[in-house]
A and B are shown apart, each in its own frame.
Chain A
């Protein structure tokens, strides 16, 4: 029971992190048709900027702020400078984001070095708490809590605000949104930047959870996020949330019981969804 609880909480924490990356990827993909291959590199930049601010100021909150802001700015610039010119040409976009991924990852190595860097939680988040008689790291609880807050926040944003409604409508039919008198392109930049900010926010939070960062940190998470997008259905918020938790939990449980098959299970899950429900678990048929 205690083991199960511990795995469950670990799985939830990992699921929350994957969610933070996947939700931006999914919205960007759903809204603009852009499969952002540089999303993981943005995540990595968020982690490194956060690490830099954290080690130089000692303030974890400042680190989160700086990392998130870095992601927002990178996302904004990326959309404006590179992606915008190629709407309607998916192949060029996908190729461009791959190039940006290479340059950004190499940029990290050039600035911060190719080696592993330690990333400890701040003192106020260190230690453990007893839950049902089991000791559990405070930091993981923090990750779950923060993830939950963001999840609810994004949900409210998408359902309660006009911007959110426009985004959800745009995912289905950007042309019709345009025909209702709304400038969809403006929404595009904002969503791109917002998705990037969520990923880099997740990156700073993820740093202390794993205890260290490497330049390729984004790649594994990006792969998981892709799997989540396929499982949940593109541009679908609920799908991204449920898919991320599913992937996080299976990953954690499998890593304990059958570590050899941890990755295989997620890929198999994706294949299964593609066979049985190609539009994703929550994707609407078009």
Chain B
């Protein structure tokens, strides 16, 4: 066990080091941008994994939190033109997402877990429509352009390292959460909710805590996104954004955290590759169909996703070798 832990950590450190060296190996601005996208989306995906993989509840409105983060930063900075308000904006976004998380969680989970799926979908759509209609605040469909951000975020290379740091910190934070007593209780709830309840735990409270933590992390990812793009529109709140979270988590492997990072990479790069093929055949414009099919195959045959399946195979291989 100790050895495995060490190996995992070692792998992660190697990965981190490789990513840190990357800008010295290539000077492709495009690649750096892609990697920044991967990092931010990976944080968003990991936050979803806390819900799906560790608590066992399915949200159909995770974009709510991503959007709240992006819009809080976008609106406050764009409307005031004051870059100094960044921290205020982030603080506001966190407060908003906590309130929303508690509201949605308490409302729906009192009845049944699936109600959470329905209510998150409804609230997500509601926020999406509000963002579309409230032109004066959000810029509607056209969105907010030229969001003023502190100078350091203009520098691609600096942003690359900030995003990498963001990913590393969020990973460590979520790792901390899932191995804490809270995280272990959440996993026990996922396995056997009835038993946890009969042991005297307030299951609802734990689930809501999970929603709030997951929501805050997703909100931070959304804020980073707005800083990176310096432009946002309603797509940050759309159903497609929620589906992104699902695809990343499922394809990478739910209940692993690191799976979402992997999933984010796969989706970002494969998406780009398939889009570039759309000149070859119009079927490549339907790249979502491709992701949908992969997703279904994984849900049916590899419920642990790519990372989880590889890890299981590797473990059983070592196991059989030893005995």
Contacts and interface: CB of A to CB of B under 8 A. Distances in A.
B132 to A, nearest CB: 10
B246 A264 contact: no
Q: Which of A85, A96, A229, A274 has the most B CB atoms < 10 Å from its CB? A: A274
Nearest to A95: B299
B296 A229 contact: no
A110 B286 contact: yes
A219 to B, nearest CB: 7
Nearest to B111: A278
Contact of A92 (B60, B123, B129, B303): B303
Contacts of B283: 110
Interface string B98-133: 000000000110110111011101110110011001
Interface residues of A, number: 39
Contacts of A90: 113-114
Nearest to A29: B114
Contacts of A227: 118, 122
B317 interface: no
Contacts of B289: 102-103, 106-107, 110
Given A99-B295, A260-B133, A226 B121 contact: yes
Interface string A219-251: 100010011011000000000000000000000
B292 A263 contact: no
A264 B296 contact: no
A91 interface: yes
Contacts of B119: 230, 270, 274
B113 A95 contact: no
Nearest to B103: A271
Contacts, number: 96
Nearest to B53: A91
Residues of A contacting B: mostly: helix
A275 B106 CA distance: 9
A109 B56 CA distance: 32
B299 A102 contact: no
A77 interface: no
Interface string B285-297: 0101101110110
Contacts of B121: 223, 226
A96 B300 contact: yes
A100 interface: yes
Given A267-B126, A271-B107, 16 more contacts: A29-B114, A37-B60, A90-B113, A91-B56, A99-B292, A99-B293, A102-B291, A110-B286, A223-B121, A227-B122, A230-B115, A264-B130, A267-B123, A270-B122, A274-B115, A279-B111
Interface of A: 29, 33, 35, 37, 82, 85, 90-92, 94-96, 98-100, 102-103, 105-107, 109-110, 219, 223, 226-227, 229-230, 260, 263-264, 266-267, 270-271, 274-275, 278-279
Interface of B: 52, 56-58, 60, 107-108, 110-111, 113-115, 117-119, 121-123, 125-126, 129-130, 133, 239, 243, 246, 250, 283, 286, 288-289, 291-293, 295-296, 299-300, 303
8 contacts: A91-B57, A94-B58, A98-B60, A100-B292, A223-B121, A266-B122, A274-B107, A274-B119
Across the A-B interface, give the 6 residue pairs with the lowest CB-CB distance, nearest first. Answer: A102-B292, A106-B289, A103-B292, A99-B296, A226-B118, A278-B111
